Structures are given as structure tokens and as C-alpha cells.
Chains A and B, each alone.
Chain A
Amino acid sequence: MSQEYTDPYNLRRTVLVAVVNNQADLCRAASEGWYRIPQRRAPRRTGADYLAFYQTGAFGSESEARAISYYAAIRRYRLLPRAALLPDEPDHPRAEEYYFRIDIGPLLRLAQPIPATSFRRLTFIHTTLERLLTAQNVTELKLEREPFHALWNALRANRLKPLSNRLAGDWPVDIALRVRSGYLGIRLEDTNDVREAAPPDRWTILRIPDSHIVSDLQGCLREIGRALIDLGGALDSKPGPEWKL
């Protein structure tokens, strides 16, 4: 770790980890010093002192695929229409939509890249610089009390056995529960995720916005409970008191 970051004041700094799935975006970040996030699909936490880049499997055989290798200090946020951000694409269907353009300083390479050793679907992660500089695995970056952990712990507290990091066909789900007719997959996302695809056989997908978990965890549990009843009940529930939904 460089001397710069031994100061605890710096270590408490916040980091937004963004997912990069193409070379062009990473090159633009390195050469032009900016990255973009559609305002409509921005995570609940966008503010940070640093931006780090998780490079997906789209980076293929490169050693940097499925890992975080680079980060940079955030200089400024701008809100701009896509057409202003990318003037070469004036006819893009989302040309009029607003994006956060995040201006960053030079890319810094982590002394120890952080791999993702599970195939849990990754979206934005809000973490601290200290964790970024010490994590051995992407999962260690997540701060406690995040919606995933809140729901996971609540399901466990209700004597269910949630499974993480499952794929429903090509559709990654955050939490899966085994039911009599197959699986109930739970995707934690905000409603601005626009991807649509039919789930495969034996899978039922329930979408729960992160914000709903934060504001009404009990309501989320009731919703999951109703889905479980419709699907014939959970298979892996542990013996114990009745589930109180």
C-alpha cells in the first residue's frame, strides 16, 4: 500500500465500483477521464470520492476479466444528455436521456486486483477506500446493512435456506429459494432496470427493488411468503416455529 493511503482520513473515503463490460468504456475512462451512468438506472448511491471499475467476463481471456484492477479519484459529476456526451451517436434511441458524466483523475492500478470468485450478479457497489485496498474478493467490498444482506438475514431468521449466486438460464438471480415446483428466484434491483427476458422452466422470478427492502422489509417478506405459497411452499425450510409473515 502506498504511503498516500496510510492516513486513516483517506482510508475512510468512499468508492463507487462500476461495472464495465466493454473495452471502449474503459479506454475512455483512461484516456479521456470520464465514465457515464444513465440517470434512469443510477444506483441509490452515486456519490463517492473514488470510482473503481469491475471488468466483466466480456474482457475475455485478459487477466483483468472478472476483477477490479483500476480506480481513480472522482473530480466532478455532470448531468448531460447522451447526445452531448457522445456527439458521434446523435441518433441513438436514448440520445435525449440524461446521464451522469463522472470526471475522474488518472487511472490507478490496484497493487492487488480484486477478483470475483463467485458468479453472483454484480451491479454497482458502494464501499470504502480501505476495503478496496485490502479486499481479497469482490464480495468483501459490500458494506453491511445493504439490502441484500438485510433480506438474506431476514430469510434466514425465518428459518428458510436462501441460496445465493444462482443462474436461472441466462438470468442471474441474487437469491434463490427451492420450492415444490422448482425455484423462486429473487432479483434485487431498482425498477429502472429495463432488461426483460422470460425465465426458464421451473423458475419463477420475483423482482424486489432495493429501495423496497430498505423501506419495508416486512412487506418484502410478506410478498415472498405469498409467492412461496403460490408455488407450493419452500422445500428447504428448517424445522422450527411457523414462519411469521
Chain B
Amino acid sequence: MPNQTRIRLGFPVKVLGASGLRSHDSRRWQNSPHLSVSLAYLRDIFLYLESRDIRFYRMAGQLAPYLTHPDLPAFHNQLDECSTELAAIGDLARQQRMRLTLHPGFFVQLGHPDPALVARSGQELAAAATLLDGMGLDLSSVIVIHVGGGHADVPAARDRFARAANLLPESVRRRVALENGDQQFSLQDVLWAHRQTGIPVVLDTLHHRCHNPDEIPMLDGLKLALATWPADRRPKIHCSSPRTAVRTLHRNGEARIQMPLPRQHSDFLHPFEVIDLLQAAISAGLRPFDVMLEAKAKDVALLRLREQIRNYAPKLSRCVQ
């Protein structure tokens, strides 16, 4: 199967399969962290990903530390300061046929009732879009966001989101994709937002299982989400499995047993669920898409899933990268 049509498996941010690989410069502001240091880390990660034939990766949301922090103006020019380095890392990504995405922090909430927070969210998205543009990445490199909090009135929050999204500059909005939530903003809600804004939908399969008031079957949900993406842009989905094991939590010197919560990501993916979903998508003739695996074991979970697909679904494995 040609590489362009194979389903790329990806993972977010942290690399666990090799020691000492950092996702970004996480030093505190007092120690002068810098985007260029994050980019040096990113280069090292890309070389690792190449060695593992991983072609889909979510970069750290804090790649440029304190970039938009209102009280730390010394950090605001990092994108300009690193234009050469950004272009170089973008070249490397293209050379490795790597799809890169971003997922900014949860404070990015275009649907929030506080206009100041919405404005700050817009700044953050603009900075993220400038970073991706600076790397010379095409529009498959998206910034995935949530609607935000419902604040006891989901339709009103949805409206606020659509209004704020439509006010974003085109150069920013074209980079944004919207993910369905696990407690509020179901798939139908984000499809509504798509109709108002044109922003494509990223189906999160676990969120859909946790919050699916319209009882849309998974394959139908996948079809609906994929249909929101322009023909020239490859869709992506998020895939994860719920935690099913008890955990021991330690707080204030006391240990407490916590029963598994379905919304929490498990360490690894349930291989048969993923195989079923991908096989169903291929059988239904759905357009090619990429899968961001949200598992605690990160790249280790990806490599294990790839191996499991090879063992349990050899035909499918030829369609998966």
C-alpha cells in the first residue's frame, strides 16, 4: 500500500522508549528557557522517530516557553529569534514525511464567557499557527482544541465558541481542528460548531464512548467526523482505551485505592478495539486518516500496538504505519 494512504499511528509529546529525550525546554522562567533549546530537543526526537518509522507526532504545547505570558515580555520574540531554526526543523520533518500537530493547554477556551480569556486564547492560537507556519508545515499540521467549559449552558457556550472562532484571522482558523469532549460538547455539538465555522472535527473515540447522548455508532461518528475535513487535508482522530486497573494514590503520606475511571487513558491500547475500528473503516471505504494514540505509555504503546496489529491482523498491518 502506498505510504500516502497508509494509516499513520502517532503519539503525543513525551518519548518513553529512549532515555533522556526531552519534549521541550521546561526550565522555569528564572532560568531563561528558550524555544531554540526546545527545537534542539525536537530534532533529537525526530531522529528517534525516524529510527522507529513513526511519522506522526504531537509536539509539546509549551514548545516556546512563556511565549504569550502577559507578565514576561522578554519571551515574546522567540518565534522571530528562531526563524532559521524553525525552518530547519520543518525541513527535517518534511524530509522524514512527518505529520506534526499541536494541542495547546486547556486554558485555550474560545467558548469561555470571560472575554479576556477568549482574547488570550486567540493570542495563543495565533502564536501556535505562526510557529507551524515558521516551520513551513502544510495545513495537515493542525492545532487541536476543545470548545471549553459549558458553564451550565452548553448551547450558549457553543454559540460563544462559534462567534470567537469566526473572529480568528483566516491564517489561524485554517490551522484549528475541534475535538469532541468526554462530558460536554458531544460529537453532535462539535459538528454543529463545524457547520458554523468550517473548522474540521477530530473524533476522540474514548470521549465519544463516554459522552454520546445521541447514541451515534462509532463507525457512523467516524464517517461524520472525516466528512468535515477538506478533500485536500488528511483527517486525524484520537484513539485511546479506558483505564481498567485500580490505582494506588499517595497524598499527604496516605495511600488510597482509586477504582478505574473510564475517562482516564490506559497505559496501552486495547488492540482488538483498535483493530476492529480500523478494519471497519477500511471495509466501509472511508478516506485515509491518521490516528493519534493517547496512551500513557506513549511511543512504547504505539510500538506495541503496531506489533499486535501485525500479529492479530496481518492484512490490516499492511495499511498501518
**A interface, CB within 8 angstroms of B:** 14, 44-49, 73-80, 98, 100, 126-128, 143-145, 211, 214-215
Contacts and interface: CB of A to CB of B under 8 A. Distances in A.
Given A215-B51, A215-B52, A79 B44 contact: no
Contacts of B84: 78-80
A79 B43 CA distance: 12
Interface residues of B, number: 27
A74 B85 CA distance: 16
Given A47-B43, A128-B20, A215-B51, A77 B31 contact: no
Contacts of B88: 79, 98
A147 B85 CA distance: 27
A145 B20 CA distance: 11
A28 B271 CA distance: 54
Interface stretch (B33-41, B118-126, B130-138, B157-165): B33-41
B36 A76 contact: yes
Interface in B32-58: 32, 34, 36-44, 47-48, 51-52
Contacts of B39: 77
B44 A44 contact: yes
Given A78-B85, A211-B51, A215-B51, A126 B40 contact: no
Interface of B is mostly: helix
B52 A14 contact: no
- Which of B20, B21, B52 gathers the greatest number of chain A CB atoms within 10 Å? B20
A170 to B, nearest CB: 30
B37 A74 contact: yes
Contact of B47 (A44, A78, A144): A44
A47 B40 contact: yes
Contact of A79 (B27, B47, B85): B85
A75 B36 CA distance: 9
B19 interface: yes
**When A and B form their complex, which 3 residue pairs have the shortest distance between CB atoms, in order from nearest?**
A47-B41, A47-B40, A215-B51
A77 B82 CA distance: 9
Contacts of B47: 44, 211
7 contacts: A45-B21, A47-B37, A47-B44, A49-B25, A75-B32, A77-B37, A143-B19
B249 interface: no
B36 A78 contact: yes
A100 B84 CA distance: 11
B81 to A, nearest CB: 8
Contacts of B263: none
Nearest to B35: A76
B279 to A, nearest CB: 29
B18 interface: yes
B241 to A, nearest CB: 27
B85 A14 contact: no
B174 interface: no
Interface string B1-42: 000000000000000001111100101000110101111111
- Which of A77, A100, A143 gathers the greatest number of chain B CB atoms within 10 Å? A77
Contacts of A44: 44, 47-48
- Which of B18, B21, B40 gathers the greatest number of chain A CB atoms within 10 Å? B40
A76 B65 CA distance: 13
Contacts of A75: 32, 34
A197 B160 CA distance: 69
B36 A77 contact: yes
B52 A45 contact: no
Contact of A46 (B18, B27, B43): B43
B20 A126 contact: yes
A77 B20 contact: no
Contacts of B18: 145
Given A14-B20, A14-B22, A49 B85 contact: no
Given A47-B40, A47-B41, 11 more contacts: A14-B20, A44-B44, A45-B20, A79-B84, A98-B88, A100-B40, A127-B20, A145-B19, A211-B47, A211-B51, A214-B51
A18 to B, nearest CB: 13
A53 B39 CA distance: 22
Nearest to A126: B20
A49 B51 CA distance: 24
Contacts of B20: 14, 45, 126-128, 143
B51 A46 contact: no
A77 B40 contact: yes
